Structure 1
């Protein structure tokens, strides 16, 4: 807060608008994502394979749409208007999911609307970076505080999502998310600035593939992809597993997700503080080792208290790889931060695609319990791969 007070009254209002939009849109997203597998299973009444397929198709379309819009946003038009358009698509997507229970419609029109909607958040961060650069203020601190809003949103969103969906119905939950997006749209329209576009160099494309020639970059990409495969398989399967197999309350899934998100914030901050002393490879190996313990713990311990306690390992795992992973890519590809960040985000998207297919097929053939044995095995492989990437 002291940082905000030093910015001047005019800048303060704009910065607070950025924070408000990041938090509110984060909450709206965190209302929808945690209960999606339950929604498809119970409301749309599809088999586990089709639940997993939905996540896979959603990730593939999301990659294509985000790449197209990102390229367009960097070359032409007003970025703020694109954010407003994406926010409108988010409202339309919420309304569609609120009143439609037809799988084919949801996996086509719904996925397209969701892909357009999900582009809003990276565009908001891009606009915030451009504005901070133009105003010559604390860019790193500004970005860090904005990212903290997303983590805070995921502390609040998942428990609220399960409470609304289970007590008042999915229609109410999606309509509340739509209302939050409408308020966000109003803030974007009246409070966020338009920033004059800075001309980008034309030779960026030449650097996009060169990093892939490095063995360490390839290893880190595969390891990162597998990390996010494990995490996404857990997120897809866990709400169904604890209610159908373990007989625990449905609301526990939201509590577990919110607890992990809350613990991730200090894990991120502590990792940032320790990275200079211990190096990125040691911290990433520690993170993946915590992930291995978490997934093995899910196989062995199934009580309410044990699942809550295991979230400490989950938070260490996700909190570190989400922050340090991107920096490690950038260090392995000096002078190519854009390409490195793209590889990191693509590893996440590829992990989501793989997770949707594997989770659905496993549950369909062997049941939910098999998912956690496979995740544990993948996490062990990831630990080996991560330990072989050089430190920088």
Structure 2
């Protein structure tokens, strides 16, 4: 198969990414998957309380069980996926589980049944995100130069696009179709997301990494410290997302409509920044960009901490969009570079850091806000992301390395350094 030569301009770079094998199919699948999630997830707590009648304790148990099972199941499936000759059966299994989960949520209302649906089907379906992205990375492992990494960032921007349009349409669907209709639409999106993947090869890495064959990447300690940095980032992300609306309306006395505008502004700006990363001819190394993203996130929270009016809030959201583009777009690539050839394990580890960060953030942020107020939460977020930035400064020289241990820039032409491989 002939792959595009390494492009020399931003426009050529984007066209080369679009011409990669299976790019259109993967983009369509990722969009449908993200669209299904964005229809349902924003209304999950509302469904549990208003439709299923769960009390606050039951709601907490339901959401916590979902998160824990998602981490455990995704981790186990990732280990299997990187060892099997074809990863596609597991990809389709996770998509089917997600479709079944939302179909069941349309009819199940008792607490025990919801726990079962959450632990088994939602937990397995949550692995669809890392499994689809690992399938994409494995399918593109032989393309020249850094085009595979750029393609992964482009796919992540497609996923972000689905979340720009999904929640609003989900709210309209909820008004017209109730929760059963919303979950039916989400289930249908999962089913449709599987169709474009039938012709995408479910390839294993060129040389699978197993327990008897150690990875050629950096030692486990480097991976562990990087994962810790992303857990801290995930904690700050979850805390900020939870308390930002309360801060804007309760502390600054602004309207709920302004909250929606600011969140929408961030989501809209995130996509062109990601596409700019795809088109950037010779960017710095991935690890350096990820480290910069951690530092910028600390600045974002400092702006919120000092904010007194709308201008500072807008500036903070613009900065947040850049951070999300860097860390959501390149974080996956960073971990795939740390764990050469182990695409599913790396992508799942990246996703799990966010899940663990969210689990740790709830009680921490609640207790902190109760003691010191909503604004002070952003001080805690700034401290967490500052600590993550320091960890990345410490680990970045060996992060996102290629197989020869060097920190390869995203834009390195083919022939100078090899693509990450086992």
- Name the TM-score class by shorter chain: 0.7 to 0.9
Alignment of 1:215-294 (within 5 A): 220-236=226-242, 256-268=262-274, 273=280, 275=284, 279-280=288-289, 281-294=291-304
In the superposition, the TM-score normalised over structure 2's length comes to: 0.71
1:383 equivalent to 2:386? Answer yes
CA contact (8 A) 1:24 1:181 kept: yes
Identify the residue that residue 349 of structure 1 maps to in structure 2: 355
Identify the residue that residue 374 of structure 1 maps to in structure 2: 377
Query: In the TM superposition, what is the alpha-carbon distance from 1:267 to its structure 2 partner?
Result: 3.6
CA contact (8 A) 2:86 2:202 kept: yes
What is the CA–CA distance in structure 2 between the aligned matches of 1:306 and 1:25, rounded to whole Å?
34
Identify the residue that residue 162 of structure 1 maps to in structure 2: 171
1:216-258 CA-to-partner distances (Å, cap 9, x unmatched) read x766544432221122234456678889997955x87666544
CA contact (8 A) 2:82 2:342 kept: no
Going from structure 1 to structure 2, the CA distance change for 1:351 and 1:145 (only over 3 Å counts) comes to same
Going from structure 1 to structure 2, the CA distance change for 1:97 and 1:380 (only over 3 Å counts) comes to same
What is the CA–CA distance in structure 1 between the aligned matches of 2:47 and 2:320, rounded to whole Å?
24
Going from structure 1 to structure 2, the CA distance change for 1:183 and 1:155 (only over 3 Å counts) comes to same
What is the CA–CA distance in structure 2 between the aligned matches of 1:101 and 1:334, rounded to whole Å?
42
Identify the residue that residue 174 of structure 1 maps to in structure 2: 183
What is the CA–CA distance in structure 2 between the aligned matches of 1:264 and 1:232, rounded to whole Å?
17
Going from structure 1 to structure 2, the CA distance change for 1:17 and 1:348 (only over 3 Å counts) comes to same
Query: In the TM superposition, what is the alpha-carbon distance from 1:117 to its structure 2 partner?
Result: 1.1
Query: In the TM superposition, what is the alpha-carbon distance from 1:261 to its structure 2 partner?
Result: 2.2
CA contact (8 A) 1:161 1:254 kept: no
Query: In the TM superposition, what is the alpha-carbon distance from 1:59 to its structure 2 partner?
Result: 2.1
What is the CA–CA distance in structure 1 between the aligned matches of 2:217 and 2:261, rounded to whole Å?
41
CA contact (8 A) 1:55 1:353 kept: no
Going from structure 1 to structure 2, the CA distance change for 1:242 and 1:47 (only over 3 Å counts) comes to farther
Identify the residue that residue 313 of structure 1 maps to in structure 2: 319
Identify the residue that residue 2 of structure 1 maps to in structure 2: 15
Query: In the TM superposition, what is the alpha-carbon distance from 1:27 to its structure 2 partner?
Result: 0.9
Query: In the TM superposition, what is the alpha-carbon distance from 1:187 to its structure 2 partner?
Result: 3.1
The size of the alignment, in residue pairs, is: 375
1:76 equivalent to 2:76? Answer no
Going from structure 1 to structure 2, the CA distance change for 1:129 and 1:327 (only over 3 Å counts) comes to closer
In the superposition, the TM-score normalised over structure 1's length comes to: 0.76
Query: In the TM superposition, what is the alpha-carbon distance from 1:116 to its structure 2 partner?
Result: 1.1
RMSD, matched Cα:
4.2
Paired residue secondary structure (1:99): coil
CA contact (8 A) 2:298 2:386 kept: yes
What is the CA–CA distance in structure 1 between the aligned matches of 2:287 and 2:120, rounded to whole Å?
43
Paired residue secondary structure (2:82): helix
What is the CA–CA distance in structure 2 between the aligned matches of 1:133 and 1:147, rounded to whole Å?
17
User: Which segments of 5 or more consecutive residues in structure 1 lack a partner in the other structure?
Assistant: none
Going from structure 1 to structure 2, the CA distance change for 1:211 and 1:347 (only over 3 Å counts) comes to farther
What is the CA–CA distance in structure 1 between the aligned matches of 2:213 and 2:351, rounded to whole Å?
17
What is the CA–CA distance in structure 2 between the aligned matches of 1:123 and 1:2, rounded to whole Å?
26
Specify which of 184, 187, 191 is matched with residue 193 of structure 2.
184
What is the CA–CA distance in structure 1 between the aligned matches of 2:224 and 2:17, rounded to whole Å?
40
CA contact (8 A) 2:301 2:378 kept: no
Query: In the TM superposition, what is the alpha-carbon distance from 1:62 to its structure 2 partner?
Result: 1.0
Identify the residue that residue 63 of structure 1 maps to in structure 2: 71
Paired residue secondary structure (2:385): helix
Specify which of 57, 68, 87 is matched with residue 95 of structure 2.
87
CA contact (8 A) 1:219 1:385 kept: no
Query: In the TM superposition, what is the alpha-carbon distance from 1:113 to its structure 2 partner?
Result: 0.8
What is the CA–CA distance in structure 1 between the aligned matches of 2:81 and 2:287, rounded to whole Å?
38
Specify which of 145, 148, 157 is matched with residue 139 of structure 1.
148
Identify the residue that residue 20 of structure 1 maps to in structure 2: 28
Considering fraction of residues, name the structure with more helix. 1
Going from structure 1 to structure 2, the CA distance change for 1:240 and 1:334 (only over 3 Å counts) comes to closer
Going from structure 1 to structure 2, the CA distance change for 1:328 and 1:87 (only over 3 Å counts) comes to closer
